[in-house]
Structure 1
């Protein structure tokens, strides 16, 4: 049989939350660099933000309650990503004249997603 998404100690919710964040960051960076023009479809970036935040909360809550030490460690690593996500609507957007501040806040979540992915996949040696 093949491996499932949750095999080898990984957490599919942490992977999904990380993928949502990466997709949203890529879209935002592409728009900011002028490579993509969303025009009337700016709502896609907002929908990805809501999806990213929701999956990050869900991944954190599910991993905290896990019996797996690696999943609990991943939850501890992922939880701080919620701070910049919560701050984003309040710090200004590129349309409001704050592109650098918005990008830096969004990118500040990257280390938390990366660490959570690493910890979720780590095998614990006893």
Structure 2
């Protein structure tokens, strides 16, 4: 396993976990009312891991970072949208998914 594979795998896994938590709360499968900070912390970790993975453009030969860079737009807009409109929040978060998926696939090819 190479360093880019590790970082893109971690970023993709963190994004998936954050989305799963958000989906579970939105569908009322469980509640995070007592600890809402967990989803915010997972989002921050996802952004950090995505930044480290995308920085591989500077320190490796993997082109996967180019495929992840566009995910920064919906990720940066998510805090401004907030969760008052669950549908808008989920749609915006989902817009980043293809970029995470393709970048992980490219890193692992």
**What is the deviation of 1:81?**
0.9
Which of 70, 78, 82 does residue 80 from structure 1 map onto?
Answer: 70
**Which residue number corresponds to residue 103 of structure 1?**
90
Where structure 2 has 5 or more consecutive residues not aligned to the other structure, the ranges are none
The whole-number CA distance in structure 2 between the counterparts of 1:27 and 1:56 is 18
1:66 aligns with 2:67: no
**Over 3 Å off, 4+ runs:** none
Correspondence list, 1:1-126, <5 A: 6-7=1-2, 11-61=5-55, 63-68=56-61, 71=62, 73-93=63-83, 96=84, 98-122=85-109
C-alpha RMSD over aligned residues = 1.4
The whole-number CA distance in structure 2 between the counterparts of 1:58 and 1:67 is 12
Q: How many residues align?
A: 109
TM-score, normalised to structure 1, is 0.81
Where structure 1 has 5 or more consecutive residues not aligned to the other structure, the ranges are 1-5
The whole-number CA distance in structure 2 between the counterparts of 1:56 and 1:13 is 8
The whole-number CA distance in structure 2 between the counterparts of 1:59 and 1:86 is 16
Structure with the bigger percentage of helix: 2
Q: CA contact under 8 A between 2:4 and 2:60: conserved in structure 1?
A: no
